[in-house]
Chain A
Amino acid sequence: MGKLYDKLTEDYRIKEGLKACINCGTCTAICPAAEFYKYDPRKIVDTVQSKDDAEIEALLKSETIWYCGECMSCLTRCPRKNAPGLVIMALRNLSMELGYFAESEKGRQQYALTKIMSENILNYGYCVYARTFKYEDHPEAGPVWEWIENNMEEVYRRNGANLDGNGPGALRRIPKEDLDDLKRIFDITGATERIETINRHSMQKAQEMGMTPEEYFKHVFNDTQKEHLNE
């Protein structure tokens, strides 16, 4: 049994999501990601179950663990009640903990994701917040979102929200003491450490690639160079 495998089994998502895979491939057949990307959850679960550290390390540094969309359709269909989606979450967790995520193009996107999500949660108390969800970053949100962005206070008032207001309601300003609770939760449960780890490895990679932090953010958010898609 390898050290990386041991480390993985400490994750409750492995305890819950990997019992005894029979390699039937039902997960791959049902998987939305497997149709789009060069992705095969059956192979990933089989690699983990092999307990081979060299294979697992290669997986942790690979593109493939970042292709899953975590819809969990695999769990519904698995005849043995495994959850390849949960196995993926544990692999991603370990990949970030060890800094291996920065070795893959898709893994490097964790820098932008962590920045977006953590700043929204710690500053506003929400994962998604209208004022940071910019039309220029989301042109697919359509002309209607551009209209909403340009008339934010009026649109939200018209639609019954309480944008940045006191008291309950949609998009309310979350009181300072509650944001302080979230910060303390981040500090004690490993989220702050996760942010620091992601930033440290990402800035090393940015330096290797000759980019400033801002250039690196734009690069991982916007660009894709490798061939990830299925034929």
Chain B
Amino acid sequence: MIYQGKQKIWSDYQKEIPDDHYFYVRSCIRQNLFPASEKTFLDITRNKLGKDFFETEHHTTCGGIAYHCDTIPQETSMTIIARQFALMQKYGYENYVCSCITSFGLYTETLETWREFPELEARIKENLWKTCKLEFAKPKYLAHASDIIYKYRNLIAAQAKYKLINRHTGKPLRVVEHIGCHYGKMFPSKSVGGAEYPYVLAGMIEAWGGEVIDYPERRHCCGYGFRQYHIRSNRGYSLANTYKKFESMEPYKPDMIITNCPGCPYFLDRWQYVISEMEGKTYGENGHGIPVFTYEEVAGLVMGYNPWDLGLQMHQIGPEPVLDKIGIPYDPQAKYLL
């Protein structure tokens, strides 16, 4: 497809993302695996860009992982979600932003189902009052946290100390972007760029100086599969899907991977470790894996944060090859210092 054609399709799926004033909710998986990414998100938005992102300790899981493991009924997850939205209203917000892609997909599905079946919305409203004595509300705008960083990508570029450029060759770093399935595959019009040409991460990569890699299995699932990972004997499913992606991207020689989903960076990182242990195969240069990052980690790196303040020591595949290429200084001795 010619480039202008892609631009036309992307323009059909652009979101009008509000600039400020959000109620922020965390991700179950990310706060365990990438807690510094959530910290960095709030630091960039609040302290570097001066925006209003409010968080309350009273919000909980949305129940999304349990729902997609089929362990709780749809009505349960919808009522938990209604409670989250009610808290947003209680604290005076209309824009809702979640750190999790599973949540984003489930919130979108829930709002669409309520729109289509008003009697169900009425039942959830009743459930909410019976259980929590909270007033039912729906967000005026629902965003995923990667939408926000996409929205601010040029503001971040304006404050950047580094670019995604290989200082040895002067060429842009070659970046694989991996979008969580539930971001745009279910409701493409709710995502930046739709399901075919999601632009939410590609836009960040371009704004920060990198080059986006296209490869055959670019849109294939990382293989999380919910029950296919949480049950030990099913994990071959998860590993096989990640393996398929890496075999597909290998000839394109990526320098790094950037993701917007809670599970994807974990699976793309840890299954590389497992493949290396099982098969002795590595996909990066010099026997190293391909470093995998969250979008906040990459934003933090270009803005000059200390890599260990970004939590990069919590990854199995070390980020050092990318830091060396960009020229970001780091203290190897401080990596695991507590």
Contacts and interface: CB of A to CB of B under 8 A. Distances in A.
Interface in A63-109: 66, 69-73, 75-76, 83, 89, 92-93, 96, 106, 109
Contact of A110 (B71, B120, B188, B220): B71
A132 to B, nearest CB: 10
B242 to A, nearest CB: 10
A231 to B, nearest CB: 14
A36 B338 contact: no
Contact of A159 (B29, B76, B314): B314
B328 interface: no
Given A116-B230, A142-B273, A184-B132, A36 B236 contact: yes
Interface string A202-231: 000000000000000000111110000100
Contacts of B286: none
Interface residues of A, number: 87
Interface in B122-136: 127, 130-132
B35 A156 contact: yes
B71 A117 contact: yes
B28 A128 contact: yes
Interface in B108-127: 113, 116-117, 120, 127
Most buried by B among A133, A191, A198: A191
Interface stretch (B55-63, B160-168, B201-209): B55-63
Interface in B5-47: 26, 28-32, 35-36, 38-39
Most buried by B among A117, A144, A175, A222: A117
Contacts of B105: 72
A66 B63 CA distance: 20
A158 B311 CA distance: 8
A167 B55 CA distance: 10
A168 B57 contact: yes
A156 B314 CA distance: 10
A221 B231 contact: yes
19 contacts: A32-B237, A32-B241, A33-B225, A71-B181, A72-B182, A72-B185, A92-B70, A112-B231, A113-B227, A128-B28, A129-B28, A147-B336, A167-B57, A168-B57, A170-B39, A181-B132, A185-B127, A189-B75, A189-B76
B66 interface: yes
Classify the interface of chain B: helix, strand, loop or mixed. Answer: helix
Given A69-B221, A126-B60, A147-B336, A159 B36 contact: yes
Interface in B229-254: 230-237, 239-241, 244
Classify the interface of chain A: helix, strand, loop or mixed. Answer: helix
**A-B complex: 4 closest residue pairs judged by Cβ atoms:** A69-B225, A160-B39, A170-B31, A127-B65
Contact of A171 (B32, B113, B130): B32
Interface of A: 11-13, 15-16, 32-33, 35-37, 66, 69-73, 75-76, 83, 89, 92-93, 96, 106, 109-110, 112-114, 116-118, 121, 125-130, 133, 137, 140-145, 147-148, 151, 154-161, 166-172, 174-175, 178-179, 181-182, 184-191, 194, 198, 220-224, 229
A214 to B, nearest CB: 15
Contacts of B32: 128-130, 133, 171
A69 B66 contact: no
Most buried by B among A70, A160, A174: A70
A109 B235 CA distance: 13
Interface in B195-227: 195, 219-221, 223-227
A145 B69 CA distance: 23
B64 A127 contact: yes
A210 to B, nearest CB: 20
B237 A33 contact: yes
Given A93-B73, A154-B338, A185 B131 contact: yes
Nearest to B117: A12
B148 interface: no
A39 B313 CA distance: 39
B79 interface: yes
B68 interface: yes
Nearest to A151: B338
B274 interface: yes
